[in-house]
Amino acid sequence: MRGSCEVRRLRYTAAIVLTLLLVACSSVPRESEPPRDAGSPIARSAAQLVGAPYHFGGADLQGFDCSGLAVYVYERAGVEIPRTAREQQRAARPVALDSLSPGDLVFFRIHSRQVNHVGIYVGGDRFIHAPRSGGTVSYGNISAGYYHKHFVGAGRFWNSEASPTAIPSPH
């Protein structure tokens, strides 16, 4: 009788171990949100450029257009992105407005049917952009007013790990 109790106990233990192994192997990890500060170096780099002159086609300290500003700050973070606002929107992974993180790009249609303006989100519904000829790199607001009306979406160029990683350009 003692032998049959031991056999039952071994079977019971084996069944529990097998069940635990199956449950552990079948769980799927949740896709996590990116750390809130993953794009912060990009946003800080953009903030340092507030006041720099607008220059059509510019992507350096001599002057910036909107997409050139995005290219410049992303390059400083070691991330290569496409050159134009439209190409940037196409290449970026879409992000919902309520999921924006600093460093994400925000896209606009201004007097156009296509995306033709981009800014770098910095938090608090604010973004940094190079708005127009004769202007300077400055802050804008996506929650109200002009840019709210023209906002069409946002995108991210890094994965859910702690640092930005390049997404291949469509070229």
Catalytic residue among 5, 55, 66, 148: 66
How many Å apart are CA 58 and CA 47, to the nearest integer?
17
Cross-strand bridge partners of residue 93: 156
3-class secondary structure, 15: helix
Do the Cβ atoms of 88 and 169 come closer than 8 Å? no
* Closest by CA position to 103, among listed 74, 81, 124: 74
Catalytic residue among 117, 148, 150, 171: 117
Residues in the chain: 171
Catalytic residue among 25, 111, 129, 150: 129
Residue 117 is a catalytic residue: yes
Residue 111 is a catalytic residue: no
Which residues are identified as catalytic?
A: 66, 117, 129
